[in-house]
Amino acid sequence: MNKLKTAVIGVGKVTHLHAKALKNLKDTEFVAVYSRDIAKAKNFAGQYGLKPYSDIEEMIHGSDIDVATICTPHPAHRDVVLKAIQAGAHVLVEKPLASTLEDCDAMIDAAKKRKVLLGTISQRRFYEPVLRVKRAIEAGKIGKPILGTITMLGWRDEQYYQSDPWRGTWNEEGGGVLVNQAPHQLDLLLWYMGPIDELFGYWENLNHPYIEVEDSAIAVLKFKNGGLGNIVVSNSQNPALFGQVHVHGENGASVGVQTDSGAMFIAGMSGIAEPPYNDMWTVKGEEAFPEKWKREDADFFAAIDPTSYFHERQFEDFVDAVAGRKKPLSDGQDGRRTVELFTAIYRSNRDKKPIQFPLKPERRVDFDGRLTG
């Protein structure tokens, strides 16, 4: 069987992380890179032994690309994804899938019509402490999940926002903490709790006057299973503290994971400060397990490069799906649900009322509530 050929689209800091993971994949060949700036493409290609392109269709056909990963800024995802899909490639998109629901739907519809797979990077789903929570819920260890919470308290300084010209702007980044830093935790909350019925939220820029976008947001939620939820996410705590997702069940048991600790990971700029661990676990008979798991997980993290290892696992998962062996763990619809969630917070803040799900795209000059906060 011929190896699947892979490529990256967009050359930025996160692209090096993708490249390292793709180079390590078995049963694939990492062969090409696209950038609209051919000089950047050539420079990147030289570092990894790739063929550079400044035309996506030419790359897909010329190098027989089966799978392309997308590393452009979020509002630019739609155009390059549609070109890759229309040329026949399966596409895995760096989070978030897009900055608007309209863009999400255009990509999902295009993938269906072309009969290719569309996936979203959610590499924290592959963390063992994260998977333990999912397995506990599916096994019924906490009964029906009735309360889910996110607390993500991080920090981004002015140097971070100056590191790329698109950061901290509505048009080029599409949002702030909700769009860029919180999608991993938002994704996990939805993965654990299921679909949302209603949401009320607020967002604000509290202490970053040099950016346009929000640095903090909160929301209360009601899920379709009858459960409740709460979201607190912020880039306003210096030093950064943690990112946590907790789920409480109808039988009184609780499970949770601290996905991030200390200084938050920034692709191409920093490493992962500390390993994730199960910081909450009251399942009857398993109260003593977390200490053992924490030691085992810390040893595992010390033995790998966590900045690329979990992307590698997600690429591996997606390639298996392309080969017809399974459904991808995080597909285009999963990515859309995260965008739907943060869009609802923007709209709720704008309209000062609860937002009902599901949401449809809006074509408004206020950028779906972002420009009237």
- Predicted TM-score of the model (pTM): 0.96
CA atoms of 247 and 280, how far apart (whole Å): 9
Give the C-alpha separation, 63 to 22, whole Å.
Answer: 16
Residue 371: predicted pLDDT: 85
- pLDDT at res. 106: 97
pLDDT given at position 271: 55
Predicted confidence (pLDDT) per residue in 115-152, tens digit: 999 999 999 999 999 999 999 999 999 999 999 999 99
Mean pLDDT in residue range 251-271 = 78
Digit-coded pLDDT (tens) for 55-103: 999 999 999 999 999 999 889 999 999 999 999 999 999 999 999 999 9
List, for residues 27-67, the tens digit of each pLDDT value.
899 999 999 999 999 999 999 999 999 999 999 999 999 99
pLDDT beyond 80 at 200: yes
252-281: average pLDDT: 81
* Burial classification of residue 282, based on how many CB atoms lie within 10 Å of its CB (0-12 exposed, 13-18 middle, 19 or more buried): middle
Helices (H), 89-163: 101-114, 128-138, 158-162
Residue 256 has pLDDT above 70, yes or no: yes
The residue-averaged pLDDT of 152-157 equals: 95
Residue 119 carries which DSSP code?
Answer: E
Q: Hey, CA dihedral for 301, 234, 244, 196, is it positive or negative?
A: negative
Q: What would the CATH number be for the domain defined by 125-305?
A: 3.30.360.10
Question: Hey, where are the domains in the chain?
Answer: 4-123, 125-305
Residue 324 backbone dihedrals phi, psi, to 5 degrees = 85, 15
173 in Cβ contact with 75 (< 8 Å): yes
Residue 177 pLDDT > 90 = yes
Residues 287-293, mean pLDDT to the nearest whole number: 96
Over pLDDT 90: what percentage of the chain? 88
CA distance 150 to 201: 13
Which residue has better confidence, 273 or 234? 234
pLDDT of residue 353: 97
Measured CA to CA, the distance from residue 265 to residue 12 in angstroms comes to: 16
* Whole-angstrom distance, CA of residue 23 vs CA of residue 86: 25
CATH topology for the 4-123 domain: Rossmann fold (3.40.50)
The predicted pLDDT at position 67 comes to 98
Q: Tell me the pLDDT tens digit for each residue of 237-249.
A: 999 999 999 999 9
